[in-house]
Amino acid sequence: MNTYLLALCGFDEDETARIKALLAQIQSISGNRWQSGDPSSAELVLVDTDSVWGHMDWLRMQGSGRRLAACSHARPRHDDALAIQSPVTVLALQTLLAQAESMIQASATSASPAFTSPLRRASKPFRPLPFAVHRLLKDRNTTTDETSTGDAKPAPVADATASSNTSLGSLLHRGQLSTAFQITLEGRHLTIDPNTEQFWTDAASLKPLAPLLALPVDRCSRPDTEKLEALRKTKGQRLARLKWFAAFIQSPGVLPSGIGVSTILHMDRWPEIEREYPRHFRIATALMKQPGTVKQIAQRAKVDETDIIDFVRAYQAIGFVVEE
């Protein structure tokens, strides 16, 4: 009988002990097929997915060959390869382990004789999780020097690598936020909730939020559950607006990945123009009237090409600027 290892990551001590107790119950029912192990050698890594660190670690682990399972309070989506809802029950854990065992055996059967490790990724790619994956390190204040992320790369910035220095705005721009964050700087507050596509702030406009979006993600924290639920009962602002601003202030003068100076661009609908950027009205008008390259649009709008580039990067992030 084959024996497999299950590693737990990101859970607090009480929850770790509780899940291990559930595993012991399963062992008494079906034998010692699954045992507790270390993430570095386990066939399955079960991760608490409600984490401020999850984006960084998910990207690092995505191409490592580890078989991951998400544990979240949110109901797992039908297209998640391996997922379980929290709080974990004996039946749910037993089902998850059976599913993982089937994947391991299928992977081993299809593997070449030269490589039959159960850590080999399944033939079906692991879909990105709806919630971030918790830090896979025992010490949450420790970062690793891992630089290899395999072939998997985050979208839409193909060469981006997350780390503890990755800014909140950068993750928002890339569309990699999947759990709520809050951040405070010099009396300014910002709470982001991707689940409801809203954000809340005491700032009267977007510009004062630039310093908060520039802070590294490890300066953020998870909002208290009661506080977040109270905010959700109030009317927040559309998260797309903040994503637009995050893209606008990221990498000034640099076109988004996949778009070059010769790319023909256009807008098929009128965007919301922020009053703080009056030039954008002229740029949007030029794009709506006729498609063109960055240079052509700049000439028609009578603005600098860098203004066009920043406009394109911001509005392409929320789907308004498209290639012809």
Give the H/E segment covering residue 83.
strand 83-85
Structure tokens that stand for 16 in this block: 């770790």
Q: What pLDDT score was predicted for residue 117?
A: 37
Q: What pLDDT score was predicted for residue 10?
A: 78
Q: Closest Cα to residue 166, out of 50, 15, 54? A: 54
**pLDDT confidence band for 62 (50 / 70 / 90):** low
CATH fold of 252-323 reads Outer Surface Protein A; domain 3 (3.90.930)
Q: What pLDDT score was predicted for residue 271?
A: 86
Tell whether the model's pLDDT for residue 239 goes beyond 50.
yes
Give the H/E segment covering residue 34.
strand 34-36
Q: Which residues pair with 46 in a beta bridge?
A: 8, 69
- CATH among 3.30.420.40, 3.40.50.2300, 3.40.50.300, 3.30.1060.10 for 4-110: 3.40.50.2300
Q: Return the domain boundaries, the chain.
A: 4-110, 168-246, 252-323
Say how many C-beta atoms besides its own lie within 10 A of residue 50's C-beta. Answer: 21
Distances (CA, A) of 278 to 203, 216, 285, 307: 20, 30, 12, 11
Which strands sit side by side in the sheet containing 181-185, from one edge to the other?
181-185, 188-193, 198-201, 237-238
**pLDDT confidence band for 230 (50 / 70 / 90):** very high
Q: Closest Cα to residue 88, out of 33, 17, 4? A: 17
Distance CA 61, CA 56 (A): 9
Q: What pLDDT score was predicted for residue 276?
A: 86
Distance of CA 109 to the CA centre of its chain: 32
DSSP code string of 126-152: PPPPSSPPPP-SSSTT--------TT-
Task: Give the residue, 32 or 175, on which the prediction is more confident.
Answer: 175
List, for residues 259-300, the tens digit of each pLDDT value.
998 999 998 788 888 888 889 999 999 999 899 999 999 999
What is the number of H-type helices and E-type strands within the chain?
A: 10, 11
Q: Which residues pair with 84 in a beta bridge?
A: 71
Q: What pLDDT score was predicted for residue 50?
A: 63
Task: Please check whether residue 107 is in contact with residue 121, taking contact to mean a CB–CB distance below 8 angstroms.
Answer: yes
Task: Please check whether residue 256 is in contact with residue 155, taking contact to mean a CB–CB distance below 8 angstroms.
Answer: no
pTM: 0.52
Give the H/E segment covering residue 267.
strand 265-267
Torsion of CA 194, 200, 203, 204, to 10 degrees: 100
Task: Tell me whether residue 91 is exposed, middle or buried, using C-beta atoms within 10 angstroms of its C-beta: 0 to 12, 13 to 18, 19 or more.
Answer: exposed
Q: Closest Cα to residue 103, out of 140, 131, 71, 66? A: 66
